[in-house]
Amino acid sequence: MNLPFSGFSKLSKEEKINWIASTYFSTPEEAVTLLKKYWNSDAKIQKLHDEFIENTITNFYIPLGVAPNFLINGQYSTIPMAIEESSVVAAASKAAKFWSTRGGFKTTVIGTEKIGQVHFLYQGDVSKLDLFFAQTKAKFYSETENLTANMRKRGGGILNIELRDMTNEMDNYFQLHATFDTKDSMGANFINSCLEQFATTLKNEAQLFDLFTETEKNIQVIMSILSNYVPNCIVRAEVSCPVEDLAEKHIPNPQEFAERFVQAVTIAAIEPYRAVTHNKGIMNGIDAVVIATGNDFRAVEAGIHAYAARKGQYSSLSHAKIENGIFSFWLEIPLALGTVGGLTSLHPLVKLSLEMLQNPSAEELMQYVAVAGLAQNFAALRSLTTSGIQEGHMKMHLNNILNQFEATEEERHEVRNHFKHHVVSHSGVVNFIESLRQ
């Protein structure tokens, strides 16, 4: 059993690696060699990566790919995607090409409002708290003016502050519920700084409010923090075309395909077990672009899944219909993104990805991300309702299996030829490789 290590964070990078290698690995030299193999040869770039987080020992690479041929609001774009899952980029590209000849994707930003809250306890007369808030509200704005000055110059800032009575949910619990517009910044630091000043103002002004008793003056702030649930920071992405225009090689009967597609989306709307997997497919596209552009995919995931359950049951994020001979497919999702600050100005590949997207505003990036999610969902549902999901996925996964078994070029050629005419499965590929080697 290994004992706790005191002062690990104070070790140099080399010392951290040597301790980990000697403590946890039977062949420490191999572990050290592997970790150093993934260092960047450019010392400046490596130092930059080392300082993104704490206790860095190496870099953990995932592929950065691109999905071309996205026709969005009449303009063609190539979308960067950072993801390790086979077939995601191929599926997005295929969907992009499909819709590029059918009118392309249309997008609309419906709102950009973000939310933060000061959670506090107050024991006393609620009517007096209401009066106190009404008289103090202006001070919440004035005492954050130094924090909001630059954001206000860009057209953003604090939109509104409300007092919310939450005592039906928890004894003595109230909120300052604030809304913000952070323009091209994701805005987490900005929002949290404003909220912490709200909390300070709240406690200080309560001490000076004549109508409060000593108990009422003793407002207890529990925490001040932004919310990653942004139901009013919404983007819509959609595609539509006459049903007959859906026809292609794998869709010989477009009416039947459209009806089955709508049924598949309806099942995801009413069946949570299906909805989770349905939405995971959407997030394949969304997360890949969010990561490639240096945004927080954990925050995006949490907010989007909360939105999917906003009506009391987890449900599909996308929707489809056939009306007057027109097939329509769309989604509306909450996305709090930024194109300035954080990794967007530090990570070289993030800067490259944003430049590939023509240095978009936060609203424009919302649209790219939503389109990637819708394209991914369309590709998955097209496969599910026609040939099945595994045929294309396993062919893409074939490379991973070949790499796992360190197949030679000759073996790769034999395997690919064989599985042109056979169903790809992990066991099937392994058995075929073993038969070749015998």
Residues designated as active site: 85, 280, 296, 393
Q: Closest by alpha carbon to 104, among 76, 66, 67, 80?
A: 76
**In sequence order, what DSSP letters do the residues of 244-262 get, joined into one string?**
GGG-BTTBS-HHHHHHHHH
358 DSSP assignment: T
Q: Exposure of 173 by Cβ count < 10 A (0-12 exposed, 13-18 middle, 19+ buried)?
A: middle
DSSP E strand stretches across 260-413: 318-323, 326-334
d(CA 295, CA 286): 11
State the DSSP code for 64. E
Question: Tokens 């709307």 appear where?
Answer: 269
Cα distance between residue 236 and residue 36, in whole Å: 44
Determine the Cα–Cα distance for residues 317 and 304; give it in Å rounded to an integer: 8
Contact in structure between 239 and 142 (CB atoms under 8 Å): no
